[in-house]
């Protein structure tokens, strides 16, 4: 769990660095690319738009869910750049954590004046 906490702290720090440099108002894809860059610079294995198969009652379906960012195959990050947050995104992260059996997830909305207001952490 210590390793996960270190990664989680670095995720928040990287989001801060990106927001400080770029500010709000850009497309989600821009923030996602920059987040991948910053986290890789921290030495993490980072995958963007990762497909995760759906397993239901022992059957693996060809349709899959897609994770915005996956860090060290352990932390999920959903990236947003919106003015109004939708509560369903919270449940989406929780569902992703359950379906992937991951412990920590983040919802990061970069379209906020202060990045601290845009970061939500979830634990499974």
CA-to-CA dists, residue 6 to 32, 86, 107, 112, 121, angstroms: 20, 28, 17, 25, 14
Tokens of residue 7, six digits: 């990664």
> Domain containing 78: what range?
2-123
Q: What are the residues facing 121 on neighbouring strands?
A: 106
Question: Could you count the other beta carbons within 10 Å of the beta carbon of residue 35?
Answer: 25
On the question of pLDDT at 65 being above 90, the answer is no
Work out how many domains the chain is built from and give that number. Answer: 1
- pLDDT band for position 80 (cuts 50, 70, 90): very high
On the question of pLDDT at 85 being above 80, the answer is yes
- For residue 116, the domain's CATH number is 3.40.1350
Reported pTM: 0.93
d(CA 80, CA 91): 15
d(CA 86, CA 78): 13
């Amino acid at each position: 769990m210590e390793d996960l906490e270190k990664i989680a702290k670095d995720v928040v720090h990287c989001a801060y660095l990106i927001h400080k440099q770029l500010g709000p108002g850009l497309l989600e894809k821009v923030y996602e690319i920059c987040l991948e860059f910053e986290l890789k610079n921290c030495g993490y294995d980072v995958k963007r738009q990762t497909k995760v198969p759906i397993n239901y009652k022992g059957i693996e379906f060809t349709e899959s869910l897609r994770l915005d960012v996956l860090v060290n195959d352990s932390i999920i990050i959903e990236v947003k750049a919106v003015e109004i947050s939708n509560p369903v995104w919270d449940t989406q992260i929780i569902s992703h954590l359950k379906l992937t059996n991951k412990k920590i997830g983040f919802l990061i909305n970069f379209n906020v004046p202060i990045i601290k207001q845009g970061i939500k952490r979830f634990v499974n």
